[in-house]
Amino acid sequence: MEDRIINTSNGLPETNSSPQADSSVLKVWGGRSLEGHVTISGAKNSALVLMAGALLCSGDCRIRNVPLLADVSRMGEVLSALGMRLSRSGNIIDINASEITTSKAPYELVTQLRASFFAIGPLLARLGEAQMPLPGGCAIGARPVDLHVRGLQAMGAEVQIEHGICNARVTDGSHRLKGAKIYLDLPSVGATETLMMAATLADGETIIENAAREPEVVDLANFCISMGAKIEGAGTSKIVINGVPKLHSTDYNVIPDRIEAGTFLLAGAITRSDLILSPVMPEHLMPVIAKLEEIGVPVIEEAANILRIKPAQILKAADIDTMPHPGFPTDMQAPFMSLLAVAEGDSIINETVFENRLRHASELNRLGADIRVKGNSAFVRGVSELSGAPVEGTDLRAAAAMVVAALAASGETTIKGLNYLDRGYDRLDLKLQKIGAKIERLEDTEADALASKAESSPETTNGTASISN
């Protein structure tokens, strides 16, 4: 069952189309302390939208600090299908959008990556028309993209959704979008980004009220500004864009990934380790740091872009309510559940952003956690220890939660669902190995044998309360 948006944070839903199946698993031998330095990669959610934003420029764009992810590769395929030229060297992607050969994105690619829908704004701004399949096809309905659609309509585009395709066109002679005042019913990241990109080349002033305030929105604004766009207010609820005739080439660095950084902070917290993380932007991690400190985990800002986490004396229960930025990020909810599963006392996690985003609770129970789910809330009773077992990541952040839990669990844990993990984490297993984790990626034949052995072992039997929906 697909996740459904409660309070749109990214403007687009999780899709039914999962990444290509990965038969490999991670095998983790838990209970080891970690130590050392972790290099944080560029932000996935920034890199994807910046790549789409390169459509706005008719020259060359160089984007640095791009993570090595499956989703980045898919976005590259979408842009190539539109006629753009891309090349990659390490963490640098060079993009040339001087010629866009088609305004129609291929269905088979877009349905695999919801972020590819962001291309609709730049395409409309450059060409005056765009044809974008809805991620997941007709099954997701119009609601997830209606904020995008209404905003583009306010800017003078005619938009129709037919047979799972969003057809948008500027019909006047100029083929240029017009500035408009737009109020978003919800502070959608995706809608904010789509409309901001579209407005950079529009005729006149565009004001977006109730805009999303996420760091990735600010990063996109700074990227566009580096190409000559006139944007003010990004990071606040009111963004003002004055359109310009064209944008020029740029060389830009993606911000560090706050969700990856948060995941490594949790890996350190649950293993009671001493870790150093860089580069980071601590201001992007304030909700995560504040919650860790409430739980009893010391986090020290050693320099402007360096964080250090130190072992906690006691892990204390805490309640979490996910919210749009600057509230607690929904993408950190699952990994935090792993930590709270071994904290002293009872915790409550309320997921207010997505429905059905608590499926990882049942997998954590397989490891010996005591978690009960009712509606969009999880009730976590801390246990003294987790025990290794075969588990599966049901989505990107759930897979990360399994890794975090496995690092603390006694014995061996095998984790399936690496296709999700590889979408959002740049070589997570290798980074963990460098700081002392005993973790190994195995192919399916060996993994199946290990899973069968683990399931038959009495040490992995879970006698805790099962999850109830």
Nearest to 292 by CA among 255, 258, 322, 318: 318
CA 211 from centre of chain: 18
Catalytic residue among 57, 61, 138, 224: 138
Nearest to 463 by CA among 366, 372, 382, 339: 366
User: CB–CB of 429/406 below 8 Å?
Assistant: no
The structure tokens listed for 424 are 């959002």
The structure tokens listed for 71 are 């989703």
**Residue matched to tokens 């640098």:** 92
Q: How far is CA 128 from CA 59, 79, 157, 170, 205, in A?
A: 18, 17, 8, 5, 18
Task: Name the CATH code of domain 4-41+256-460 (choices 2.30.40.10, 3.40.30.10, 3.40.605.10, 3.65.10.10).
Answer: 3.65.10.10
Q: Judging by DSSP bridges, how do beta strands 181-183 and 230-232 pair with one another? A: unpaired
In sequence order, which residues have a C-beta less than 8 Å from that of residue 311 and are 6 or more positions away?
A: 272, 273, 274
pLDDT of residue 288: 98
| Spatial separation of the C-alpha atoms in residues 330 and 322, rounded to whole Å | 5
Residue boundaries of the structural domains of the chain: 4-41+256-460, 44-253
| Spatial separation of the C-alpha atoms in residues 12 and 192, rounded to whole Å | 12
| Spatial separation of the C-alpha atoms in residues 50 and 56, rounded to whole Å | 10
Class for the domain spanning 44-253 = alpha beta
Which stretches does DSSP call E strand in 49-163? 60-64, 85-89, 92-96, 129-133, 157-162
Local structure of residue 373 (DSSP, 8 states):
E
Q: How far is CA 326 from CA 163, 283, 458, in A?
A: 37, 10, 45
Residue 224 among the catalytic residues: no
Residues 64-101: tens digit of each pLDDT: 999 999 999 999 999 999 999 999 999 999 999 999 99
Here the contacts of 281-287 (C-beta below 8 Å, separation 24 or greater) are 281/215, 281/255, 281/256, 281/305, 282/307, 284/215, 284/255, 284/256, 284/258, 285/258, 285/261, 286/326, 287/326, 287/327, 287/328, 287/329, 287/332
User: CB–CB of 130/124 below 8 Å?
Assistant: yes
Domains 4-41+256-460 and 44-253 fall in the same CATH topology: yes
In this prediction, the residues of the chain whose per-residue pLDDT falls under 70 are 1-22, 136-144, 444-469
In sequence order, which residues have a C-beta less than 8 Å from that of residue 305 and are 6 or more positions away?
A: 256, 278, 279, 280, 281, 282
pLDDT of residue 7: 41
Nearest to 395 by CA among 355, 340, 357, 439: 357
